[in-house]
């Protein structure tokens, strides 16, 4: 209960502050955003396996200043702005075809990862792309598992947090910041013995993100056949030893 209250307070601070500065006619829409964020946060706290609640959190953060600034930051990185202008989104991957590629290719690594884990490559929540923010959210969601593969972060809790720290360095994604911050509070209150591990994973992910070239600038899906090692070398992704 203490952990839930602490994380809830953090979410309230981050989401309710912008509401106080809003005009009255915007309050109803913003309150819906806040409720979506808090609903997702509490669901995730109760059951971390309900990963779809992450989208409730992020959908509720669309209109805060931090999201706008994250998009501006991302677009300022080399090679990213053209994808925003194009609104580039790839078609759904053909997993069977990707499994026919050479074993060292990104496409084969991705398809094997999806198949072995029993994942659906189209699992992510869709949103109509109407502006830079909705494009940003869709492209990040669409390439989430590719980022996992390229960075070599696993899909366990620590792996996800490592990737979120990487995202924070690369694009300042508000969802990443909230999940990282929430994990520190929850670990402090509920699993203090795991703090050493957490404080190794988060800085490592952030450091990797600052050293690497922008992953958001890549059209991975047009180069599935390229060796994964070549992608990592080209982008300066230095895996944790």
- For residues 190 and 230, membership in a common domain is answered with yes
pLDDT at site 61: 85
Q: Where are the beta strands (DSSP E) in the chain?
A: none
- For residues 208 and 146, membership in a common domain is answered with yes
Tell me, yes or no, whether 240 lies in a domain.
Answer: no
Tell me, yes or no, whether 52 lies in a domain.
Answer: yes
Distance, CA of 21 to CA of 165 (rounded, Å): 29
- For residues 220 and 110, membership in a common domain is answered with yes
pLDDT band at 79 (very low <50, low <70, confident <90, very high): very high
**Domain finish residue from 12, 32, 63:** 63
- What percentage of the chain has pLDDT greater than the value 90? 64
pLDDT band at 41 (very low <50, low <70, confident <90, very high): low
- For residues 128 and 159, membership in a common domain is answered with yes
- For residues 53 and 73, membership in a common domain is answered with no
Tell me, yes or no, whether 149 lies in a domain.
Answer: yes
pLDDT band at 24 (very low <50, low <70, confident <90, very high): very low
pLDDT at site 25: 44
- For residues 92 and 140, membership in a common domain is answered with yes
- For residues 82 and 32, membership in a common domain is answered with no
pLDDT at site 20: 44
Tell me, yes or no, whether 241 lies in a domain.
Answer: no
Tell me, yes or no, whether 206 lies in a domain.
Answer: yes
CB-based contact 51:17 (threshold 8 Å) = no
Query: What is the rounded average pLDDT of the residues 33-45?
Result: 52
Distance, CA of 206 to CA of 146 (rounded, Å): 18
Query: What is the rounded average pLDDT of the residues 64-85?
Result: 97
Q: Let me know if 19 is exposed, middle or buried by CB neighbors in 10 A (0-12, 13-18, 19+).
A: middle
**Range(s) of the domain holding residue 200:** 65-235
pLDDT at site 57: 80
- What percentage of the chain has pLDDT greater than the value 70? 77
Tell me, yes or no, whether 104 lies in a domain.
Answer: yes
- For residues 17 and 121, membership in a common domain is answered with no
Contacts of 18 (CB under 8 A, 6+ apart): 30, 63, 64, 65
Q: How many CA atoms lie within 13 A of 232 on its CB side?
A: 19
**Domain finish residue from 63, 84, 116:** 63
Count of domains for the chain: 2
pTM: 0.81
Distance, CA of 163 to CA of 160 (rounded, Å): 5
Distance, CA of 40 to CA of 50 (rounded, Å): 9
Question: Which structure tokens are listed for 176?
Answer: 């990443």
Whether the pLDDT of residue 29 is over 70: the answer is no
**Domain finish residue from 46, 63, 80:** 63
Is the Cα torsion angle 114, 115, 118, 119 positive or negative in sign? positive
Whether the pLDDT of residue 190 is over 70: the answer is yes
- For residues 119 and 177, membership in a common domain is answered with yes
- For residues 103 and 134, membership in a common domain is answered with yes
Tell me, yes or no, whether 34 lies in a domain.
Answer: yes
Tell me, yes or no, whether 76 lies in a domain.
Answer: yes
Contacts of 216 (CB under 8 A, 6+ apart): 74, 77, 80, 83, 139, 140, 143, 170, 171
- For residues 41 and 86, membership in a common domain is answered with no
- For residues 199 and 117, membership in a common domain is answered with yes
Q: Lowest mean pLDDT: which of 56-70, 79-93, 96-110, 198-212?
A: 56-70
> pLDDT tens, 94-149?
999 999 999 999 999 999 999 999 999 888 888 899 999 999 999 999 999 999 99
Mapping DSSP to helix (H, G, I), strand (E, B) and coil, where does residue 227 land? strand
């Amino acid at each position: 209960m203490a952990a839930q209250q602490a994380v809830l307070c953090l979410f309230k601070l981050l989401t309710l502050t912008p509401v106080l500065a809003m005009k009255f006619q915007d309050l109803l829409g913003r309150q819906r955003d806040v409720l979506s964020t808090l609903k997702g946060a509490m669901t995730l706290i109760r059951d971390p396996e309900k990963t779809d609640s992450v989208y409730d959190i992020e959908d509720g953060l669309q209109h805060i200043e931090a999201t706008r600034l994250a998009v501006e930051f991302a677009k300022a990185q080399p090679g990213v702005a053209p994808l925003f202008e194009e609104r580039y989104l790839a078609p759904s991957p053909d997993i069977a075809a990707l499994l026919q590629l050479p074993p060292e290719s990104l496409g084969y690594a991705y398809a094997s990862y999806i198949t072995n884990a029993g994942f659906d490559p189209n699992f992510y929540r869709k949103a109509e792309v109407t502006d830079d923010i909705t494009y940003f959210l869709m492209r990040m969601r669409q390439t989430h598992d590719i980022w996992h593969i390229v960075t070599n972060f696993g899909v366990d809790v620590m792996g996800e947090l490592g990737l979120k720290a990487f995202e924070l360095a690369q694009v300042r994604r508000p969802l990443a910041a909230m999940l990282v911050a929430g994990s520190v509070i929850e670990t402090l209150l509920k699993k203090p013995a795991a703090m050493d591990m957490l404080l190794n994973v988060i800085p490592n992910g952030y450091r990797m993100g600052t050293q690497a070239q922008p992953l958001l600038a890549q059209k991975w899906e047009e180069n599935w056949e390229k060796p994964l090692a070549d992608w990592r070398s080209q982008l300066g992704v230095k895996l944790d030893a």
